[in-house]
Amino acid sequence: MAVVRLDALRKVYPNGYVAVADASVEIASGELLVLVGPSGCGKTTLLRMIAGLESISAGTLLIDGRVVNELPPKDRDIAMVFQNYALYPHMSVAENLGFGLRLRGMDRAAVDRRVREVAQLLELEPLLDARPGAMSGGQQQRVALGRALVRDPKVFLLDEPLSNLDARLRLHMRVEIARLHRRLGTTMIYVTHDQIEAMTLGQRIVVMDRGVIQQIDTPMNLYRRPANRFVAGFLGSPAMNFLSGTVRIDTTTELVGPHGTLALPGVAWPADWAGREVVIGVRPEDLHPVDAAGPAALSARVDVVEPVGNEVFLNLRSGEKPLVVRLPPRVVPQPGDLIHLVPDPAMLHVFDARDGARLE
Ligand code: ATP
């Protein structure tokens, strides 16, 4: 078990590009931390710096209180699982699993023992003699996990380990990884661009955008109180709806914008927000249909109806503005219908229109 601490870690590539800007986070011993963000946000670079595969331009990386910036990867007691598995095609599963241990000079009997232990843990015993080319993607991924596990590393790094699998297998392996983490209690850092994977696996999640950490928190806190508009829009599927406008505070609070004037009864913003340019965010489950149009309702026309079994996503247009609503699959409007929606006042998110920061 190990505590990993990143202290203002920075990566500037030789061409001057800042891929990671001053990332700071402490990963507790035994924690499963997920790094998530869109393509190119710097998450792989950050993981590779922790592994020692990428040099650190500035800042400090500590494992159990020891600075390891200059330590070669093999001395960091870290194992990494890659997206493409990187298995040796000419070796059997058993040989793939034991390769690293043999390289380290472990004797044959001890290697065999350890390989069997890990094969049992990952239910790979029937495949020990098979070659990777003859196995499914999910099986290969399990071997890749096993190869990292045999070394019993202090820290386990996973870079998009499920992205080559089909949807069903991805779901299955996600549960396997969560179970594995619970059994082993190893410190794990898991990189993904998939927000569902991040939300379901992470004890805490680090959300990155353009090299900068945007927020670090538990999945629920990120969903309920996103620190800025980027995080609000990135987590949640379908994504949060945004409405921009100017705050007007009269007898009620109102948002005056391209959608018209929307009254927000039940919303009490500070008086000095009057005149402020804001963007309000409403999740698709927090917009509720009402029978009639009115000052507190957004009127929108149904564009596309997406039934997903236990619920329905309605894609709507309010003027030019696209909106998404999530409804139980009971009474479903049809394309072309005009419906009226009221946001739940307790579930509104408000962001500054200029820098996107959460206000309140
Ligand atoms: P993805 O999910 O697509 O893998 P990522 O979030 O993991 O993306 P990184 O691979 O860390 O992103 O890359 C971050 C940024 O750094 C990208 O804009 C990428 O183009 C840039 N980058 C990566 N490697 C180099 C390099 N060797 N030289 C210059 N720029 C690089």
CA 355 to centroid of ligand 1, rounded, Å: 25
Report the nearest-CA residue for atom 10 of ligand 1.
44
Q: What is the pTM of this model?
A: 0.92
Q: Is 302 helix (H, G, I), strand (E, B) or coil?
A: strand
Which atom of ligand 1 is found nearest the CA of 48?
A: 11
Which atom of ligand 1 is found nearest the CA of 47?
A: 11
CA 105 to centroid of ligand 1, rounded, Å: 35
The b-or-e profile of 344-356 (16+ CB within 10 A means b, else e) is eeeebbbbebeeb
Taking alpha carbons only, the member of 285, 286, 302 closest to residue 339 is: 302
Report the nearest-CA residue for atom 29 of ligand 1.
13
Report the nearest-CA residue for atom 20 of ligand 1.
40
* pLDDT computed for residue 152 by the predictor: 84
CA 51 to centroid of ligand 1, rounded, Å: 16
CA distances from 123 to 86, 139, 143, 150, 260 (A): 20, 10, 10, 14, 60
Q: Is the CB of 192 under 6 A from ligand 1?
A: no
* pLDDT computed for residue 217 by the predictor: 98
In the chain, what is the greatest distance between 2 CA atoms, to the nearest angstrom?
80
CA distances from 45 to 9, 26, 123, 314 (A): 11, 17, 32, 38
Q: Is the CB of 251 under 6 A from ligand 1?
A: no
CA gap 227, 193 in Å, rounded: 19
CA 53 to centroid of ligand 1, rounded, Å: 14
CA 50 to centroid of ligand 1, rounded, Å: 15
Cβ proximity of 119 and 146 under 8 Å: yes
CA 70 to centroid of ligand 1, rounded, Å: 21
Question: What is the token pair recorded at 159?
Answer: 């870079």
Report the nearest-CA residue for atom 2 of ligand 1.
39
Taking alpha carbons only, the member of 59, 69, 4 closest to residue 35 is: 4
CA 30 to centroid of ligand 1, rounded, Å: 28
Cβ proximity of 37 and 45 under 8 Å: no
CA distances from 144 to 93, 139, 171 (A): 9, 9, 17
Which atom of ligand 1 is found nearest the CA of 37?
A: 6
CA gap 206, 235 in Å, rounded: 12
* pLDDT computed for residue 111 by the predictor: 93
pLDDT means per 10 residues in the chain (360 residues)?
95 97 97 96 96 96 96 91 83 92 90 91 89 86 88 91 82 87 92 93 97 98 97 96 95 92 94 96 96 94 94 93 92 92 96 95
* pLDDT computed for residue 234 by the predictor: 96
Best substitution site from 17, 55, 209 to test ligand 1's pocket, by max atoms within 8 Å of Cβ? Answer: 17
Cβ proximity of 246 and 277 under 8 Å: yes
What domains sit in the chain, N to C, each tagged with a CATH number?
Answer: 4-234 (3.40.50.300), 241-352 (2.40.50.140)
Q: Is the CB of 193 under 6 A from ligand 1?
A: yes
Report the nearest-CA residue for atom 1 of ligand 1.
39
* pLDDT computed for residue 149 by the predictor: 86
Q: Is the CB of 98 under 6 A from ligand 1?
A: no
Integer-rounded Cα Rg, in Å, for the chain is 25
Interface pTM, i.e. ipTM: 0.96
96 HSE (CA, 13 A, CB side): 28
Cβ proximity of 243 and 256 under 8 Å: no
Facing residues of 83 across strands?
none
CA 73 to centroid of ligand 1, rounded, Å: 20
Q: Is the CB of 43 under 6 A from ligand 1?
A: yes
